[in-house]
Structure 1
Amino acid sequence: MLSAGRLAPDLLMRAPEAVALLGDGDGGLKPRSRTHLEQEMLAAVRRADNAVQGVTAARGVRRRELFRTSAADIVGSYGTESQPAEADQGALVDLVGGAVSDLTAATLAGTLRAVVREGWGDTLPTRFAIIGMGRFGGHELGYGSDADVLFVHEPRDGVDEQEAAEAANKVVAEMRRLLQIPSADPPLLIDADLRPEGKSGPLVRTLTSYEAYYRRWSLVWERHALLRAEHVAGDEELGRRFTELIDPLRYPADGLGDEAAREIRRLKARMESERLPRGADPKLHAKLGPGGLSDVEWTVQLIQLRHAAREPGLRTTRTREALSAACAAGLISSEDAAVLDEAWVLATRVRNAVMLVKGRAGDTFPTAPRELGAVGRYLGYGPGHAGDMLDAYRRTARRARGWWRSCSMAGREVLPGPPCGF
């Protein structure tokens, strides 16, 4: 584990007591449930004298659990003398994505409780909920991912709207500050750029404000982004009502029109043009390159926008689950679903490998030979086979790229094929 890269050793050096997890058999590396994590963090907050101490304790739990997940990922990828490497790479991707997403949700819940407790006692003057977006809402976070969120609140009975809004904004500002205070624990960055009107829009809105905005002004990209929206922390009833509000937008009864599909194609092309790093090889960029994460995810999301109103199985925030549902509904053949799933799993594992090896997030293969070899080892390639790894990645991505082109241009996806079994 220590030879795999920088992330796991760095986490262990900051919390050496976590080494005990490695001696606890299979149970020591099994990710803990979100409920268990949240209970531990809330208990730590209750014991703390103030919000800073409470969030520090929650971040310590997060550090330990990131180590647990990274160790489980490494052992599953490399194997041991007594247990061979995990054959189902998709299972490892799901393990990491689910564990890190649950951990992030629990950390936000603990931080929210600490902030409210210190500033307002037991009751905030407004109901407050956090909605996970993007890979967070999809249960697909990586080790170095930010938390993409929306904030929604609703004034309690008898509370002035301005007072409620001020309280909600103070909560958000303090949560962000506490989760980024420099310390031995990794920071958790909160990103709310997917909110209505983007960076220029209000950071926090009432449920009524969201309803008015989405009814009159919502753009294609905003409806598209809502496909991954899921309540992750705060008031559950308010989170449920927000989900009910956005369901008709993200699962439109009349599907997706041609103009909206063209707009999505334009947005994706613009994103790739503006965000691909200068000098990077696009064919090896796991997120924005041909056949990378965005190709697969946007393909699946186009299918959801077109058909989710009629196919309940497509109403999920998770990419692989939606892809399986599309296959089961006959919207994509088993062979093509397998191609997309393989590409998505591989691209996700590349990003996880880069973080494990380098200790910082990245979307493309390292150039340093030693780091590239470590990524290859994680992906199952022996010494001297880095070139084979890169060739295999290009082939897998090239097959997936063709499906984005055909899906984005077509009005329907139904293709013949055998039953799903990928």
Structure 2
Amino acid sequence: YRVAVRDLRAHYGLPRLNNRHPCAMTICALGKCGGRELGFASDIELMLIYAGNGRTTGPRVITTAEFFDRLVSEINNVIDARREGIFELDLRLRPYGKAGSLGVSLDAFRRYFAPGGDAWPYERQALVKLRPIAGDVKLGQQIIKLRDEFIYNDDPFDIAAMRAMRERQIRHHVTAGTVNAKLSPGGLVDIEYLVQGLQISYGHRYPNLRVTNTSEALTALAAVGVLTQQDYVHLSEALSFLQNLINALRMVRGNTKDLTVPPIDSEEFVYLARRMRYEAGHQVQLNYDLTNHTTRVQEINARILN
């Protein structure tokens, strides 16, 4: 970040608002990075938000929009993350995704994510994980305040939209007859979506639910009585198991994409069990634990969301 800013300032000077005040910016993390849940080869999902419109001070003058678009590109180039490997930058959660500007003005953020804006329900849900990690502290506080207004309000959570998203994920990314540790019914995403839905539903009443980490959110949901102690224990155990399973799958395969659990009679399954610290010859226990956790997650989801 500092390297990219230094290089851009040498060419274009300092970005300033139309009132000549310095144009602040904040880098926000989302997803696993926002939740402080990065695992092996997780994507780093980021959104750069700047204060508003203006121009740079020169020697070459460009708009603040151009400056911060170029800053995001420079950060991406400096990091130069591998496309297949550890910690790939993902900038698609910005307004309008790949069709939108790399840098996002505060006003554009406000218009897009506000109730009645163009954001899809799943995009607003993703803001649960938003966390400022670099840049101007005051602007970061403004962004968090806006985020809270957009998602932690009295509006009912759109369960139908969440279910539709899960059905699309399963239909497009899960092969029939296989188990995907992340996307299959009872997988990691079912836990994350359930927790985020409960946070959005009750966060206006209980501010301590407005946390970005899934495990911390589970603890907070149990503390205020939204989750029973038994459901809290089962979901927490399943969360830890599935996170470890996904890390192990990525290590065994050396890539981030294929999270399908191998057949129990395969050599790869033996390696997977070993990576998860199951004793030699006890890989059947891994299959039992996977079935047990995913079945419980499905049961809890069906009971709470219905």
Secondary structure in structure 1 of the residue aligned to 2:63: helix
Name the counterpart of 1:172: 72
Secondary structure in structure 1 of the residue aligned to 2:79: helix
Q: How many residues align?
A: 291
Tell me which of 183, 186, 193 is aligned to 1:291.
Answer: 186
Preserved contact between residue 255 and residue 307 of structure 1 (Cα < 8 Å): no
Secondary structure in structure 2 of the residue aligned to 1:233: strand
TM-score normalized with structure 1 length? 0.63
Preserved contact between residue 5 and residue 71 of structure 2 (Cα < 8 Å): yes
| Farther off after superposition, 335-344 or 206-215 | 206-215
Name the counterpart of 2:163: 265
Preserved contact between residue 146 and residue 188 of structure 1 (Cα < 8 Å): yes
Name the counterpart of 1:153: 50
Preserved contact between residue 291 and residue 343 of structure 1 (Cα < 8 Å): no
- Change in Cα spacing, 1:236 to 1:407, as seen in structure 2 (3 Å) is same
Secondary structure in structure 2 of the residue aligned to 1:152: strand
Name the counterpart of 2:100: 201
Preserved contact between residue 134 and residue 148 of structure 1 (Cα < 8 Å): yes
1:175: Cα distance to partner?
A: 1.6
Name the counterpart of 2:19: none
What amino acid maps onto 2:2 in structure 1? R
For 2:143 and 2:6, locate their aligned partners in 1 and report how far apart those are by CA, in whole Å.
Answer: 24
1:162: Cα distance to partner?
A: 5.8
Name the counterpart of 2:6: 117
For 1:266 and 1:141, locate their aligned partners in 2 and report how far apart those are by CA, in whole Å.
Answer: 26
Tell me which of 181, 195, 210 is aligned to 1:315.
Answer: 210
Tell me which of 391, 400, 416 is aligned to 2:288.
Answer: 391
What amino acid maps onto 2:225 in structure 1? G
For 2:188 and 2:82, locate their aligned partners in 1 and report how far apart those are by CA, in whole Å.
Answer: 31
Secondary structure in structure 2 of the residue aligned to 1:289: coil
2:33 counterpart of 1:136: yes
Tell me which of 232, 237, 240 is aligned to 1:345.
Answer: 240
For 1:250 and 1:175, locate their aligned partners in 2 and report how far apart those are by CA, in whole Å.
Answer: 29
* Structure with more helix by fraction: 1
For 2:75 and 2:67, locate their aligned partners in 1 and report how far apart those are by CA, in whole Å.
Answer: 12
| Farther off after superposition, 303-312 or 160-169 | 160-169
- Change in Cα spacing, 1:166 to 1:320, as seen in structure 2 (3 Å) is same
Name the counterpart of 1:274: 172
1:350: Cα distance to partner?
A: 0.4
Tell me which of 145, 148, 151 is aligned to 1:247.
Answer: 148
Name the counterpart of 1:191: 90
Name the counterpart of 2:122: 221
What amino acid maps onto 1:314 in structure 2? L
For 1:156 and 1:349, locate their aligned partners in 2 and report how far apart those are by CA, in whole Å.
Answer: 44
Preserved contact between residue 256 and residue 306 of structure 1 (Cα < 8 Å): yes
For 2:65 and 2:53, locate their aligned partners in 1 and report how far apart those are by CA, in whole Å.
Answer: 11
1:363: Cα distance to partner?
A: 1.8
Tell me which of 250, 266, 269 is aligned to 1:355.
Answer: 250
Provide Cα deviations, 1:365-415, integer angstroms capped at 9, x if missing partner: 345944422321232322222222112211111011111122222xxxxxx
- Extract unaligned runs of 5+ from structure 1: 1-111, 410-422
- Extract unaligned runs of 5+ from structure 2: 16-22
CA RMSD of aligned residues (A): 2.6
For 1:341 and 1:297, locate their aligned partners in 2 and report how far apart those are by CA, in whole Å.
Answer: 11
Name the counterpart of 2:18: none
For 1:340 and 1:225, locate their aligned partners in 2 and report how far apart those are by CA, in whole Å.
Answer: 20
- Change in Cα spacing, 1:337 to 1:386, as seen in structure 2 (3 Å) is same
For 1:156 and 1:200, locate their aligned partners in 2 and report how far apart those are by CA, in whole Å.
Answer: 20
1:214: Cα distance to partner?
A: 2.5
1:118: Cα distance to partner?
A: 1.9
Name the counterpart of 2:278: 381
What amino acid maps onto 1:311 in structure 2? Y
Preserved contact between residue 350 and residue 364 of structure 1 (Cα < 8 Å): no
What amino acid maps onto 2:9 in structure 1? W
Name the counterpart of 1:256: 156
What amino acid maps onto 2:156 in structure 1? L
1:159: Cα distance to partner?
A: 4.7
For 1:157 and 1:177, locate their aligned partners in 2 and report how far apart those are by CA, in whole Å.
Answer: 25
For 1:222 and 1:169, locate their aligned partners in 2 and report how far apart those are by CA, in whole Å.
Answer: 21
What amino acid maps onto 1:117 in structure 2? R
For 2:288 and 2:246, locate their aligned partners in 1 and report how far apart those are by CA, in whole Å.
Answer: 17
**What percentage of residue pairs aligned between the two structures are identical?**
29
For 1:388 and 1:355, locate their aligned partners in 2 and report how far apart those are by CA, in whole Å.
Answer: 20
TM-score normalized with structure 2 length? 0.86
1:181: Cα distance to partner?
A: 6.5
Tell me which of 96, 111, 124 is aligned to 1:212.
Answer: 111
For 2:99 and 2:135, locate their aligned partners in 1 and report how far apart those are by CA, in whole Å.
Answer: 24
2:260 counterpart of 1:364: yes
Name the counterpart of 2:301: 404
What amino acid maps onto 1:291 in structure 2? G
Preserved contact between residue 228 and residue 317 of structure 1 (Cα < 8 Å): yes
1:248: Cα distance to partner?
A: 1.1
